[in-house]
C-alpha cells in the first residue's frame, strides 16, 4: 500500500485558509484512491497563540 504524509501548521475541518482547504481535498482524494495518508499538524488555533498550549 502506498503511504504519504503531509506537514501543515493548521489542519481542521473549520479552518478556511486556502492551503488548508486544498490539502483537505487532496487528502480526501488520495484516501479514496487507496493511499494511506497521515497529516502532521499543531494544536494551535492561530499564529499569535501560545504554541505550548493544546487548543483542541
* Domain ranges (residues) in the chain: 1-56
Q: Which pLDDT value is given to residue 55? A: 75
Q: What is the pTM of this model?
A: 0.74
Q: How many CA atoms lie within 13 A of 39 on its CB side?
A: 19
Cβ proximity of 5 and 37 under 8 Å:
yes
In the predicted structure, residue 16 carries a pLDDT above the cut 80: no
d(CA 4, CA 2): 7
| Grid cell locating 8 | 501543515
pLDDT in tens, 18-37: 888 999 999 999 999 999 99
SS (H, E, C) the chain: CCEEEEECCCCCCCCCCHHHHHHHHHHHHHHHCCCEEEEECCCCCCCCCCCCCCCC
Amino acid at each position: 500500500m502506498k503511504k504519504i504524509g503531509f506537514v501543515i501548521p493548521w489542519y481542521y475541518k473549520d479552518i478556511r485558509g486556502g492551503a488548508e482547504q486544498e490539502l483537505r481535498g487532496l487528502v480526501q482524494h488520495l484516501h479514496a484512491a487507496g493511499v494511506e495518508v497521515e497529516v502532521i499538524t499543531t494544536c494551535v488555533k492561530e499564529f499569535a497563540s501560545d504554541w505550548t498550549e493544546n487548543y483542541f
